Structure 1
């Protein structure tokens, strides 16, 4: 019932249209227009009525030749030549498209609302010597709250407990847990991973980092003006030209020719209007874009609307998140560097023995690298917050951690090459440095080729934005050939970078995957989300969704956008060329209604067939392997290959 209520115009129109088609083509009613014509009329009024009302309101507001008037003229022209089903179908499809666009906006807003609803609604606050569960909005700055392991921190504050391990992925987008010490800032939305903690609240419920993400999304949505559709621009020129030309054809000859007969010139004007009826364009242009959207979906790319095909085609600047977008968001051991005669396997075994109780992604990477070998028993193990671990193995004091931990124990490193883009775990035994393990987030296998293809396709400025540290970000950027890279960023920092890049004559894109990316994706002219691992909020606010998480799909999407644009303009040129030719014949009194019907219906069918080429060209959804050295050029490729990122 909810469906019928929400889409009642389209449902009623469809039922009347089906009834009209059955009656018109039934043998018993063949040729009896008075039987089926009212059915077509009711079907048309169900969906066409609202459009004509919008055309009327548009005229009242000063915009005479709007897309709504164009739709009215198109469908009225179809009725004038007896193509009743076509006239109804054009208006029905237009209405369905409006429903789809409205639903996309509604889903985006609903998803962001659910993001805020997920903010913790219970805070355990210390009051009068006891604890009490209250709504976070009632907790005042300066009060103390408690957060158990596995719970979300409900409010921003300062850590009172000596140390804490927090999962901040929802805010920073980085998969590595964040270690905090007493006095450091703790953000609402972070998940406490290990022991109970106490936090002194420093801000209100409406001022948390998580609430700020929502505010930025809403601000971006208001600022991001909808792209003006081609059909709107076209209507402003084509519709007045046709209307005034038909009027001129009717009345101007009175001033020029002898023996002026109003009926003759009015008939020529009617043929002129029938020829000019833009049904072919109204159908084939959206069909071209639908073809592009369909071809993209076959390749794992979801466009939220035809506007974004045009926007993506014009994009010259692209901001990209790192973790989960260009990298796998999974850590692996890159290299093992033993010193002082130590064996690589022994070094890994010592480190893994201390790390085996940890759930930290780096610890898991080291444990995975042991290949299942048995580990040592550790005695008196201690964690040094934010630095590493210490324990007794085979009666020797073993230390595993970062550079700061070794400095704390007065253990000098015998190598100084540990300043590049990896996470380094140093190992010492009885006060002597014995080696280093390098660990890195793995770059996706198609990231480098994707960046190369984007540059070839005219995306001249590619910038990486990440919450990871600047050294790692710089290294990844050098590896991939990215133009600029900025690290150590929070969501509002990313937002500021993209906001500065926006301009009236620029098309700026952003691609990301985490909740923290949702505001920036909404702000950008083209927001692209990695749909496989992306958060619901990010996917819903995005304009384009890469369903397979492959960055190589972005240049494929751009290629589809370019080809769709060419096909659409081929249809426009062909349709207008034929129509103008027949209009001239009609003005001279040479063309009859038969030529007019061909110029309308025949051109529409040819344009539709041309639009279907998009689906055929990009029907192959197989992708190249990075090892394939025979990839075609992304622009001049044949139909069998979309771009340098597919074959």
Structure 2
């Protein structure tokens, strides 16, 4: 195996990146380095913020001086070309970028943009010698644009934090030596060495006995997660131990973090219907507004006796400023973007703003059981073996047979029995999908699986499986029923509160599972889930989903296994448990819950509802205020100052309303 970028042409190992702490770096040194980087980032952000406001500050100072000279000090020299030049100079810091953008949009074929409206209105104000109003309109518009940029920047912060979680380089052990390579060059089977405070670059299996990881970036949970030897660890997790070793099990581009990053980056491409409508509306609305403004300035010539062109042109310019659709064009996408950002902050990934709209309308949450509402970690509860059989010998044979399966039940049996006896010789091992295993030991057939498998093999048994709540694993040896094991899966800690919150939102709940019907009913009754169905194959789940949708209900299906992918694809909103969920399920789903906590389901619905509410508040506010001031402007009762409020003021209010969602507490 050969790795690039680790040695120079003479075979010497390349120096490590200065950003990497040495192997003997102390926690205090890492802490100090982190604090310095945070301080540097804060300083850089402050400088960047100041630069954004510099043009507006310059224009504000010059405008205040001009108004003072013109109205209070009454200086003789501040007239004529001096006055005009001063106002032009005052206008340029805020006006030039907008004029430039108007030209760019025209070249792209977008003739009627908000930039063009602002340019026409302000240049028109200068033409009729309304210099302060012309500068003020562009000044307030520019300030609004800065606040918009800040709001978008804040909305992107949570997502950017996630995008920064994948390191570009990893340290691997090669012939007992630590070497730094590009993460993308690491291959399956490589051993990654993680120092304290270092992020894991690829998915893998923990080789060290145990280790603690900070999973905040992936799950939104601040509580460290402890992993034991052999358990799965994911790219983006931060090692909290001194030295930890991980064996790479997934290629860089196939890691769960890579897939999550791709989802986040593509999320804003999927637009909500409301957002798409506003965009189409603005394209039709803006030309109509320009036409109406022209009509306001010219048509009165034919009907008004004392027609004064400058007066009606001023009204038309006021009309243009008021009618600028920037409050809608800015605040609505920002509202949805804020919703996606707020969800990401809480470990929920929406693949598009359209799913924020859809999830707000969910009437029935249909969920899988194992791995969704339960831990998905099975444990043997009881072993019942008939006295005529040797219990220890039977358990060893079962353990040897289950070693040929990757099913969670096999893991539970192995954990219970312990070390596998490899002296047991198995022949003709067969796994019957959805039923169990069978093989030959000492020329005698052993069967381990569900009671349907016993029936198919014509094995007679003397118990009623329907009377036992837990999952049953039946055992037969040499055509005789030997006994059974009971296996149970523990319910997740937050499963109960999940159902309570869903009911509080007025959402119905249904459980669909391939597990034994008595087990499914037991879990559903304990959690107070309205409807529950067990013993379902993947196609049965799909048919149940179709039945619910046929009742005119908007359905969300929540699952984690590859067998859940068809039901997720069919539902109105598919939700995947992304922590340990299958790749097929995660890729099919519309929403991914990163930490596998079911309580994030009602949280996702609540985020969707709050986002939709804020978007419609902004639409209503913008249309109401603009409508009132438009009528006043057309009648000459509103000046350019009222127009500024109707445009920039409403836009600022809408932006402030949109960013509220990023500060909301969705854990209630």
Both proteins in one fold, TM over 0.5: yes
In the alignment, is residue 416 of structure 1 matched against residue 459 of structure 2?
Answer: no
The alignment status of 1:82 with 2:135, answered yes or no, reads no
CA distance in 2, matches of 1:507, 1:567: 22
Name the residue aligned to 1:354: 397
Q: Tell me, in whole angstroms, the C-alpha distance in 1 between the residues paired with 2:478 and 2:535.
A: 36
Going from structure 1 to structure 2, the CA distance change for 1:530 and 1:355 (only over 3 Å counts) comes to same
Aligned counterpart, 1:304: 351
SS of corresponding position for 2:576:
strand
1:623 — aligned with what? none
Deviation at 1:321, TM superposition (A): 3.8
Deviations 1:400-438 (A, max 9, x none): 665478789998644324565643234689999775321
Structure 1 gaps of 5+ residues are: 1-17, 57-67, 100-223, 619-641
Q: Deviations over 1:319-339 (max 9, x none)?
A: 434443333333222344577
1:564 aligns with 2:620: no
- How far is the alpha carbon of 1:555 from its aligned partner? 0.6
- Equivalent residue for 2:495, pick from 431, 437, 447: 447
Which residue in 1 is equivalent to 2:248? none
Determine if the alignment matches structure 1 residue 268 to structure 2 residue 318: no
What is the Cα-based RMSD across aligned positions, in Å? Answer: 5.2
After superposition, residues 529-568 of structure 1 pair within 5 angstroms as 529-568=576-615
State the distance in 2 between where 1:506 and 1:225 align.
Answer: 23
Inter-CA distance 383–75: structure 2 relative to 1 (3 Å threshold)? farther
Q: How many angstroms apart in 2 are the aligned matches of 1:514 and 1:471?
A: 21
Whether 1:31 aligns to 2:78 is no
Assess if the C-alpha contact under 8 Å between 1:400 and 1:426 holds in 2.
yes
Q: Could you tell me whether the CA contact under 8 Å between 2:568 and 2:575 is conserved in 1?
A: yes
Tell me if the contact between 2:538 and 2:566 (Cα under 8 Å) persists in the aligned partners.
no
Q: Is the 8 A contact 1:246 1:272 kept in 2?
A: yes
For 1:567, what is the secondary structure of its paired residue?
A: helix
Q: How does 1:244-259 map to 2 (within 5 A)?
A: 246=293, 249-250=296-297, 253=300, 257-259=304-306
What displacement does 1:512 show?
3.0
Residue 366 of structure 1 deviates from its aligned partner by 2.6
User: Is the Cα–Cα contact under 8 Å of residues 293 and 320 in structure 2 kept in the other structure?
Assistant: yes
Matched, 1:277 2:316: no
TM-score by length of 2: 0.54
- Map 1:167-316 → 2, pairs under 5 A: 227=273, 229=275, 230-232=277-279, 235=282, 242=289, 246=293, 249-250=296-297, 253=300, 257-316=304-363
Among residues 608, 621, 643, which one is paired with 1:574 in the alignment?
621
- The verdict on how the C-alpha distance between 1:45 and 1:507 changes in structure 2, with shifts beyond 3 A counting, is farther
Taking a change above 3 Å as real, the CA distance of residues 312 and 578 of structure 1, as seen in their structure-2 partners, is same
Q: 1:502 to 1:419 in 2, by over 3 A?
A: same
Note the residue ranges of structure 2 that are not aligned, 5 or more in a row.
1-50, 63-85, 124-133, 157-269, 431-435
Cα distance, 1:277 vs. partner?
1.5
Give the whole-Å Cα distance in 2 for the aligned partners of 1:404 and 1:586: 79
Give the Cα–Cα distance (whole angstroms) in 2 for the partners of residues 276 and 409 of structure 1: 78
How many residues get paired? 457
Structure 1 residue 608 corresponds to structure 2 residue 652: no
Task: Measure, in 1, the Cα distance between the counterparts of 2:565 and 2:106.
Answer: 38
**Conservation of the 8 A alpha-carbon contact between 1:352 and 1:363:** no
Contact 1:418 1:424 in 2 (8 A): no
Query: What's the offset of the Cα at 1:387?
Result: 5.1
Task: Indicate the residue corresponding to 1:458 in structure 2.
Answer: 506
Partner-residue secondary structure (3-state), 2:605? helix
Q: Call closer, same or farther: CA 1:356–1:434 in 2, change over 3 Å.
A: closer
Q: Distance in 1 between matches of 2:657 and 2:99?
A: 31
Whole-angstrom CA distance in 2 between matches of 1:231 and 1:273: 18
In structure 1, the partner of 2:210 is none
Corresponding residue SS for 1:314: coil
Deviation at 1:530, TM superposition (A): 1.9
Query: 1:333 is paired with a residue of what secondary structure?
Result: strand
Find the counterpart in structure 1 of residue 573 from structure 2.
Answer: 526
